[in-house]
Amino acid sequence: MIKATNYLRTEAQFVDRSLDSVAEHFTRFGNTFFCCEVGVGRCIVDIAGFVMRRSEFPLIERPFTITESIVLAHLRNYGPTSIDMLEQRCGLESGALRKGKLDRLKDRHVICYGAGGHVSLADYSFPISIIAIEAKLMRWRDALKQAIEYTQFADQSFVLLPSEYAGGAISSRDEFKDAGVGLFVFDKQSGIDCIVKATQLGDHGWRRDFILSSLLTHAHKFDWDT
């Protein structure tokens, strides 16, 4: 019988205990913000955050709508275009993006309009990486399966396990490498140890923009430390 320690009684406690160590691990790559239980469609990500190389970012008071996220994904993946072509690319009816539908994105310097009615990304296009982490106490195969789903919208996806119960996952590290998913092991004394590095992913759909807007919304509720 496995005896639970003080920080391993529940996965929620484990996530809460390891959150600061996760953020600290990524500070070497830039400014970071991480929080728990971020919703993306059907998924609830245990720990999600971003890493960026600047200290200012767009003021987003609430997450983007699905339509706004789809627009941003097309601009991010295919570049600037006219409003008419953007509607076609997004599978929207003619005129669907007019009459103020994109005003919030423009006012928040997420998009901008140029000559000939072209639309492009603005300040929102700064270099940034979205991190998604699935934390489990022991069931590492379930965690890996969930983390693979996160690769649909995260630039890097990880599994996080306590060091006490990570032996099986460490022995099977090739499964993580093959999936492009990283493996973190947390020790309450030494913090986070990266056993397998995550593959840097790209070409994501609208869910990436949606989760980024959710994270930016959360971030503005806290003091930003540069």
In a shared domain, residues 72 and 89: yes
Q: Do residue 18 and residue 100 come from a single domain? A: no
pLDDT tens, the chain, 226 aa long: 344 455 577 899 999 999 999 999 999 888 889 999 998 878 899 999 999 877 667 778 889 999 999 999 999 889 999 999 999 989 888 888 988 889 999 988 899 988 877 899 986 666 689 999 999 998 999 999 999 999 999 999 999 999 999 999 999 999 999 999 999 999 988 899 999 999 998 879 999 999 999 998 888 766 544 3
Confidence at residue 173, expressed as pLDDT on a 0 to 100 scale: 95
Task: Report the pLDDT value the prediction gives residue 158, as an integer from 0 to 100.
Answer: 98
Range of the domain at 47: 11-55+129-196
Please report whether residue 217 resides in a domain.
no
Q: pLDDT at position 126, please?
A: 65
119 & 135 share domain: no
pLDDT value, residue 222: 63
Tell whether 36 and 15 lie within a shared domain.
yes
Q: Do 35 and 136 sit in the same domain of this protein?
A: yes
- Domain containing residue 72: CATH number: 1.10.10.10
- Statement to judge: residues 143 and 85 lie in one domain: no
| Strand order through the sheet with 31-40 | 31-40, 43-52, 128-135, 156-162, 182-187, 191-196
How far is the CA of 1 from the CAs of 4, 7, 140, 180, in angstroms?
A: 10, 17, 18, 33
Within a domain: 211: no
Assigned domain for 1 exists? no
* Residues 77 and 188 both lie in one domain: no
Would you say 157 and 151 are in contact if contact means Cβ atoms under 8 Å apart? yes
- Do 135 and 191 belong to one domain? yes
Residue 116 and residue 84 in one domain: yes
For position 60, what pLDDT does the model report? 84
Residue 159 lies in a domain: yes
Instruction: State the pLDDT at residue 59.
Output: 76
CATH value at residue 18: 3.40.1350.60
User: How many domains does the chain divide into?
Assistant: 2
Predicted model pTM: 0.87
Q: Is 204 inside any structural domain? A: no
Same domain, 19 and 72: no
Buried b (16+ CB within 10 A) or exposed e, 89-124: bbeeeeeebeeebbebbeebebbeeeeeeebebbeb
